[in-house]
Amino acid sequence: MKKNLILSLFALVALCLGQQAKAQVSVSTAPVTVNIDLQAAVLSIALDAAPTVNFVYGTAAEYTASKTVTKPGHLTVISNKPYDLAVSADGLFTSSNSTNTTNLPALGIVGISVDAATLHGGTLTPITALTQVDQEFISAANAEINAVYNISYTIADPSSLISLPLEVYTTTVTYTATQL
């Protein structure tokens, strides 16, 4: 009996091991079209949180040497195409004293340049004298999402300021980006 039991058990194990479960696999596909539709040119300029440029002359020595005000991250451009950057003044300097309309600094006393490390693939032409006409200072900059420029404003020769009344003189500078 013991022999029959072992033989039955052996037969049962052999039967279990001999059976293989085979699942039926089927494959189905469905293609999907994905479109990216770029319809509009994107171009934007933004200035940093503190865009005002202040040249302060408080000592005699300051009237004898060049002065530069550097504005890191001053200008940010977003463009989906290559672009040029230009700069101009909206008008001549005006005085904080409304009666002074003739004894003003020359607009061309201010120059503008860009830190070469922030050209974003463009070609630099420093502006040595600010004018009321757009002057291109970066040409063919790369299309980028966040092109940040470090801008420096310079008064190379402040000697002509010494004879002006002690007032604040102001002009507005406008930057223009043009896609190529």
pLDDT tens digits, residue range 64-97?
A: 999 999 999 999 999 999 999 999 999 999 999 8
Give yes or no for a contact between 45 and 77, defined as CB atoms under 8 angstroms apart. Answer: yes
Q: Among 6-15, 77-86, 102-111, 125-134, name the one with the lowest average pLDDT.
A: 6-15
Q: Name residue, tokens 């002057």.
A: 135
Residues 35-72 have pLDDT tens digits of 888 888 899 999 999 999 999 999 999 999 999 999 99
Residues 6 or more apart in contact with residue 7 via CB below 8 angstroms: none
Residue closest to 147 by CA, chosen among 52, 38, 49, 74:
74
With a threshold of 0.85, does the pTM exceed it?
no
Residues 6 or more apart in contact with residue 169 via CB below 8 angstroms: 93, 94, 95, 96, 104, 105
Query: Which three-class secondary structure state does DSSP give residue 110?
Result: strand
